[in-house]
Each structure stands twice: as C-alpha cells, then as structure tokens.
C-alpha cells in the first residue's frame, strides 16, 4: 500500500510512500506534494480523508493560487468528491471585468450546470469567494496525476465559461 494511515482522528498521521504529510489542523486536510502523485491512483486514497495538492503536478499542471481544491474518496469506488473555494482579494484583482460581476457570472454558470452542487458566493468589501462541489469519476483507469489534471481542466472551464458570460453579446451583466 502506498498510503498508510495511523492513529485516531485526534492524532492521525498519513504517510505517502513513507513520507509523512502535513495536516492543516484548522481545515482538516493533508497537503499532498505533487511529486508524490504520479505513483498513486484515485482508489489508493483512504476513504474520507481530505487532501489538497501542494505545489504543481510533475507535468507542471496545477491550480490557480486563488483556488483551494480539496479532494477525497467517499466510498469504495475510485470516484472523488471535489470541494473548490476560489477567494479573491478586491485590492489585488486585475481581471478585465469587475470582480463582483466576474464572481456572479461564474456562480450563474455553476448553477446552470447539473454536475455542480452547493454553489455559494460571498461578496465583501475586501474579499470575495465562490465555493462549489462536484463528483469526479471516469470509466477509464487513470493515475492520480491524470485525474488531478482533469479536475484542473474542470475548474479552469468553470472560470472560462463564467468569464465568457461577461463579454458583449452574452448579455447577462
């Protein structure tokens, strides 16, 4: 087994290929270094334990710095449950369109696509967030690196479709 879990929920440790992972105590997920991902398959992940990619994948692929993407297995299948939170500081926003319009366009896009659930949006004077969840599974057998690349593509696609709504001719904002 490539992943070993020891201890109870209070003092749990997760080792991947013999290397202990860092646990984010406040959020309860483990940072999984991208360099360790290639040796794993989705069904190697222990059920119920949450992970976040630390750094980039060996392919160079990775999530945007604004995106916190947590993944875990819910059951015996190799399907993963994905929880995405995108957080934007208003003072650092350099997008083409206003931040609030961008976040709301992405929210509308997510609400219109059946595969996404728990879509929530928080807008504030200093920070804006959008959060959503989805299930990822495939019929083909993939390693965890390729799986995470496809999840990256899904997150990028959500942002692109939301941004496309803001261009003239799409008439939503």
Q: Please give the pLDDT value at position 8.
A: 83
**48-71 pLDDT tens trace:** 999 999 999 999 999 999 999 999
Q: Please give the pLDDT value at position 98.
A: 93
**Torsion, Cα of 137, 142, 144, 147 (10° steps):** -50
Q: Please give the pLDDT value at position 15.
A: 94
Averaged pLDDT for residues 149-153: 95
Q: Please give the pLDDT value at position 142.
A: 86
- At residue 76 the predicted structure's pLDDT band, cuts being 50, 70 and 90, is confident
Q: Round the CA-based radius of gyration of the chain to a whole number and report it.
A: 17
Q: What is the reported pTM?
A: 0.91
Neighbours of 9 (CB within 10 A): 6
What b/e string do you get for 142-168 counting C-beta neighbours within 10 Å, with b at 16 or more?
eebbbbbbebbebbeebbebbbebbee
Rounded Cα–Cα distance for residues 87 and 168 (Å): 26
For residue 110, how far is the Cα from the chain centroid?
14
**109-127 pLDDT tens trace:** 999 999 999 999 998 899 9
Q: Please give the pLDDT value at position 170.
A: 65
| 169 has a pLDDT exceeding 90 | no
Averaged pLDDT for residues 2-20: 90
The pLDDT mean for the chain works out to: 91
Under 8 Å CB-to-CB from 16, ≥6 apart: which residues?
2, 3, 32, 33, 36, 40
**132-143 pLDDT tens trace:** 999 998 778 889
Rounded Cα–Cα distance for residues 88 and 90 (Å): 6
Residue pair 72/50 in contact by the 8 Å Cβ criterion? yes
Q: Please give the pLDDT value at position 102.
A: 94
């Amino acid at each position: 087994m490539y992943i070993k879990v020891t201890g109870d929920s209070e003092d749990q440790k997760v080792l991947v290929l013999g290397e202990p992972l860092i646990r984010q105590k406040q959020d309860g997920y483990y940072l999984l270094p991208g360099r360790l991902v290639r040796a794993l398959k989705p069904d190697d992940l222990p059920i119920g334990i949450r992970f976040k990619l630390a750094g980039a994948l060996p392919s160079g692929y990775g999530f945007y710095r604004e995106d916190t993407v947590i993944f875990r297995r819910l059951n015996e299948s190799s399907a993963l449950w994905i929880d995405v939170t995108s957080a934007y500081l208003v003072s650092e926003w350099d997008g083409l369109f206003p931040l609030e319009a961008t976040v709301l366009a992405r929210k509308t896009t997510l609400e219109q696509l059946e595969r996404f659930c728990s879509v929530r949006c928080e807008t504030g004077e200093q920070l804006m967030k959008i959060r959503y969840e989805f299930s990822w599974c495939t019929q083909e057998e993939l390693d965890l690196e390729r799986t995470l690349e496809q999840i990256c593509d899904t997150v990028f696609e959500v942002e692109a479709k939301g941004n496309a709504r803001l261009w003239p001719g799409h008439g939503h904002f």
